[in-house]
Amino acid sequence: MRGRVGALLLRALLAGFALPVAAAPPAAAGSSTVSETDLLAQPSLEQVVAYALEHNPGILAARLEWEAARARITSQSWYENPTVSYTPDTGTMAETRAGPQGNAIEVSQAIPFPGKLTLRGRIEEARADATYQVFEATTQEISRQVRARYADYFLAARSLEVNNETTDLTRQFADIAQAKYRVGTAAQQDVILAQEQLSRLATERVVFEGDSETAIGALNALLDRPPRAPLGPPADLDAELLAVPLERLVEAADQERPELRSQDHVVDASRHSLRLARMGYLPDLRLTGQWTEVEGGTNPTFRRDGNDIWTVKLGFSIPLWLNRIAAEVDEMDARVRRERSRRRDLTNQVLDQVQRQYERIRVAARNEEIYQATLIPQTTERVAAARAGYQTGVVDFLTLIDSLRSLEEVRLERDRAVRDYQQAAADLERAVGQPLSELAP
């Protein structure tokens, strides 16, 4: 409820300092399955994120990519298709002691050296695990974008609320100035200044309305909805000081960040590829079976005269071009070292992201606390004092308008601090790779 204190104080001014009526609490978060009806009410941040995780096509595409990678494990770790050859009887086949040859069929199967297929399967399995981490990273990135755009939507809605309340209060001041001008206790300049302030607030309202429509469109794009699909007003957001130390965040990022896990699997795949390249010095086998038809025999003295011929052949490749195999080994070895260096570089980038987002969230939380606890109450009292002073003729109208502008600005700055906090929190969770709530003591 801290985020509503400024609004309640301003409503007190509008109501002549009467006690305000408590606002209705935000709608409670629903179940994991969020419907369109929920989005049209007052969707919470959690509900919007849950809807995006269910409907965003980018997440679905990443998941299907992982499923395709899983299917490659079997296709790459199994034998190649056998080769079948058919030799038709042309009538000019050679004749053996067993008789003239006819049709012939040959079946050949390549058999990699034992262990090669296993390594190929491990390579694809490591790549599939890396793809799964990419899927996790995509999910977290979509969640981060939704949270950031929801914070923009919250700021636009709060800016419109502040603008409306400031406009109402300015109209009250304009009425006071008009009344004083009629009786000759105020200059016409006061009335003109009040109208100028109302015009300025009207231009601000146009900007805030555009910001709101832009934020809705950005959210709908992430939710796989039409750009102008209606969206209920955002729930209230707040900013709290982060209770997790930087060291814990750094440790969690090194263990949980999906991109780092993915790179670990890429390193494993390159290591298995290096082992497979070294097995290039070992021969592959080929098993062949052949059947040859033998027609009526012409040599009765030969006991197997006229019998068909069955043969089995076992062949193997000769790793003769050693320089080619050595080059492949060197290539795979370089790739292993490259992927390890990429992992280290990516780790440094992730830790830098954690550090920067950690400072952003601390600054935003402290600023929000100052605005909420100090500046908003002070400027609210300033407006009240200026209003009373203008009515009694102690201060001029310009002082009253300046105090109102100050109140409007600090309220907007407070809401911007909340927006910055929420976006920094989303960026920090993305940098760490898991929700901050799971790390809080």
- What would the pLDDT profile of 332-346 be if each residue is shown by its tens digit? 999 999 999 999 999
* Model confidence pLDDT, tens digit, residues 27-71: 333 345 889 999 999 999 999 999 999 999 999 999 999 999 999
Same domain assignment for residues 306 and 327: no
Same domain assignment for residues 27 and 162: yes
* Model confidence pLDDT, tens digit, residues 234-280: 999 999 888 899 999 999 999 999 999 999 999 999 999 999 999 99
Same domain assignment for residues 289 and 231: no
Residues near 273 by Cβ (< 8 Å), separated by ≥ 6? 123, 332, 335, 336
How many independent structural domains does the chain possess?
Answer: 2
* Model confidence pLDDT, tens digit, residues 143-170: 999 999 999 999 999 999 999 999 999 9
pLDDT at residue 10 is higher than 80: no
Determine the 3-state secondary structure of 108 from DSSP: strand
Residue 9 or residue 178, greater confidence: 178
Confidence of residue 14 (pLDDT cuts 50, 70, 90): very low
Residue 53 or residue 303, greater confidence: 53
Determine the 3-state secondary structure of 212 from DSSP: helix
**Domain with 145 in it:** 2-78+120-281+322-438
In this prediction, residue 359 carries a pLDDT of 95
Same domain assignment for residues 290 and 419: no
Let me know: does 194 contact 397? Beta carbons within 8 Å: yes
In this prediction, residue 231 carries a pLDDT of 95
Nearest to 174 by CA among 395, 166, 7: 166
Torsion sign, CA atoms 218, 220, 225, 227 = negative
What is the three-state SS of 39-97?
A: HHCCCCHHHHHHHHHHHCHHHHHHHHHHHHHHHHHHHHCCCCCCEEEEECCCCCCCEEC
Which DSSP letter does residue 33 get?
S
Domain boundary among 318, 337, 371: 318
Same domain assignment for residues 215 and 263: yes
In this prediction, residue 27 carries a pLDDT of 38
Same domain assignment for residues 173 and 236: yes
Residue 25 or residue 391, greater confidence: 391
Domain boundary among 294, 318, 342: 318
Nearest to 415 by CA among 165, 179, 199: 165
In this prediction, residue 247 carries a pLDDT of 93
* Model confidence pLDDT, tens digit, residues 356-370: 999 999 999 999 999
In this prediction, residue 309 carries a pLDDT of 83
The C-alpha angle with vertex 231 and arms to 225 and 237, in degrees rounded to 5, equals 120
Confidence of residue 301 (pLDDT cuts 50, 70, 90): low
Same domain assignment for residues 170 and 191: yes
Number of helical (H) and strand (E) elements in the chain, helices listed first:
11, 5
In this prediction, residue 17 carries a pLDDT of 35
In this prediction, residue 3 carries a pLDDT of 46
* Model confidence pLDDT, tens digit, residues 381-412: 999 999 999 888 888 889 999 999 999 999 99
Same domain assignment for residues 373 and 291: no
Confidence of residue 135 (pLDDT cuts 50, 70, 90): very high
> What percentage of the chain exceeds 70 in pLDDT?
90
Same domain assignment for residues 136 and 149: yes
Same domain assignment for residues 106 and 11: no
* Model confidence pLDDT, tens digit, residues 80-111: 999 999 988 877 777 776 677 788 999 999 99
> What percentage of the chain exceeds 90 in pLDDT?
71
Same domain assignment for residues 165 and 310: no
CA–CA distance, 354 with 219 (Å, rounded to integer)? 25
CA–CA distance, 46 with 153 (Å, rounded to integer)? 14
pLDDT at residue 215 is higher than 60: yes
Residues near 28 by Cβ (< 8 Å), separated by ≥ 6? 44
Confidence of residue 190 (pLDDT cuts 50, 70, 90): confident
Mean pLDDT, the chain, rounded, equals 88
Residue carrying the six token digits 């980018």: 58
- The CATH number for 204's domain is 1.20.1600.10
Same domain assignment for residues 358 and 395: yes
pTM of the model: 0.83
